[in-house]
Structure 1
């Protein structure tokens, strides 16, 4: 996400020093590391930087109360075992499925800027609510998590966050449109236009 903030003029002595001694990232505050990068890197495209990422980022809130079915992408044998032996099987499912323990805000504060978001609609759910999933479904909806990310960006206007939406389990065309509308409604002007080159110069004041 691009906050559209213009870059200041870079102090050339700082650039020269960084070229001579190498860029040091030691001591950068994790919750705002992008805005504290040395000015020598302000014009560096994001795809040339190593961005800290979170795999299956929202699995910290998987439904561990056995209310969620196992997602239909899992092997048939696991689904059958879960159906008849849930108290025995679920601890193993949760141990494998939960890849993150920190909330999305805690991950942002720790410096994560790339999020792997796997979207799903629960089977037999008459609502249009969308969730995340990995083995089982989350308790938090997509809208709730995206609003939390947006609130964090409001408090950190010089940071860039990359959201990777994928998988789209159980989504029909209408739900895809709903997801797009939700993203646009929540993030509005924070969304980076496709025609804008993804570089840090856009995000640092």
Structure 2
């Protein structure tokens, strides 16, 4: 993948180079999240960024290079909340904190969520290795942690992987189906009730029965 062109003296990228690269990635995120990888074009990205197509190609080899850069950045940020689950913490509160952060991210980064969803729907051709080498070990470790909490009676019996999938589905829905949510629940104040609703639902699901 092409990286930012470096100055001939081997120094750091200039302020303008960093600015232009940021403009390209921001524009590409918007274009890819709306049209998907197949529907997006370099011309659309260039127009959105306010740069010429040759200028885009100065910084990146092509559309795929931009897309992979965005996905790599996304995966690092997207997985951070799962890394932050504390094995020494209170199990229910740790999982609810994870739920809350995923819901916050769906509100803060809807384009990133749709970018990832589009990549998965297409068969993950550009991040299959990342899913296998990074995501799977992390989910395996988290599932093992949840299983341990269940065995210790600190959580109600639950399949850990289905629990993780469910949290992803219920939180990222608000980003991936944002247009539908806005039609069915146009009042933003009403949408804010998602946190309370999901907290109550998962708290009931995961709280062990007395005794």
TM-score scaled by structure 1?
0.29
> Per chain length, whose mean CA-contact separation is higher, i.e. which structure has more relative contact order (CA < 8 Å, sep 6+)?
1
Between Structure 1 and Structure 2, which shows a larger proportion of helix residues? 2
Between Structure 1 and Structure 2, which shows a larger proportion of strand residues? 1
TM-score scaled by structure 2?
0.29
